[in-house]
Amino acid sequence: MSLVLDRTAQDLLFREAHTANTFTDEPVTEEQVQAVYDLVKYGPTAFNQSPLRVVLVRSAEARERLVRHMAEGNRPKTSTAPLVAILAADNEFHQELPALFPHYPQAKDAFFAERPVREQSAALNAALQAAYFIIGVRAAGLAAGPMTGFDSAGVKKEFLDDDHTPLMVVNIGRPGEHAWFPRSPRLPFDDVVTTV
């Protein structure tokens, strides 16, 4: 075995983890979300730009507003998950760069003075952080149900502003009955990896 990570951790994070479509009623606590963040905040981003922003949808009123913008097939699970998080990219992340990247504070102006550059960089790096977040939810013993099927403009208007781009909505909780489909096949190594 070429991995150092122990088998239990491999299973928890990847091999036995599944995208959940149903959940139990057990709440997801603020402490759990903080523990997830305090772990995954260390995942790498370019210039440590850390553009991910998270909106936790906890009130019934906010949940109702969100569900309205989800694709129809995603509404039942988004209605019933114990916690739903909107993950977004902050396109004005460069304001934080002098603090986040102290050994080269000039990066803010040298690389990120232009909004289209920032949007592209934030989209990629917030997506990396979204993946770390999903791994972190699993590290807390919870199941994640990430979804991209929603009206992005609607979610942006309801919950964000012009400086933030929604990336995905994630249902979070303990898996319920028939929580997932059987594991779908993955591409074989040789279809994905080539050597030059």
Largest CA distance in the chain: 55
Q: Which backbone phi and psi does 55 adopt, to 5 degrees?
A: -110, 115
Q: Compare residues 130 and 179 and give the one whose CB is closer to a copy of itself.
A: 130
- Among 75, 128, 163, 174, interactor with a copy of itself by CB under 8 A: 128
| Distance of closest approach, residue 107 Cβ to a copy of itself, in angstroms | 11
Q: Which of 67, 81, 107, 134 binds a copy of itself (CB under 8 A)?
A: 134
How many alpha carbons fall within 13 Å on the CB side of residue 21? 9
Q: Which residues contact 41 (CB under 8 A, 6 or more apart)?
A: 50
Among the listed residues 48, 40, 53, 165, the one whose alpha carbon sits nearest the alpha carbon of residue 111 = 48
Q: Does 159 bind a copy of itself (CB under 8 A)?
A: yes
Tell the smallest beta-carbon distance from residue 80 to a copy of itself (Å).
18
Cβ proximity to a copy of itself, 6 vs 115, nearer residue:
6
**Does residue number 143 form part of the binding site for a copy of itself (CB under 8 A)?**
no
Q: CB of 170: closest distance to a copy of itself in angstroms? A: 10
- Residue 9 binds to a copy of itself (criterion: CB under 8 A): yes
Smallest gap from residue 172 Cβ to a copy of itself (A): 13
85 backbone dihedrals φ, ψ, rounded to 5°: -120, 135
List, in order, residues 6 or more apart from 79 with CB less than 8 Å away: 63, 67
Torsion, CA 42, CA 39, CA 168, CA 159, rounded to 10 = -100
> Which positions from 53 through 82 interact with a copy of itself, judged by CB under 8 A?
53-59, 62
Q: For 16, what's the count of Cα atoms within 13 Å in the CB-facing half-sphere?
A: 10
Interface residue with a copy of itself among 21, 22, 23, 40 (CB under 8 A) is 40
Q: Which of 21, 50, 91, 171 binds a copy of itself (CB under 8 A)?
A: 50
Q: Binders of a copy of itself among 86-125, rule CB under 8 A?
A: 96, 99-103, 121, 123-124
31 lies in the site for a copy of itself, by CB under 8 A = yes
Collapsed DSSP state (helix, strand, coil) of residue 99: helix
Query: Is residue 171 a contact point for a copy of itself (CB under 8 A)?
Result: no
Beta carbons of 55 and 88 less than 8 angstroms apart: yes
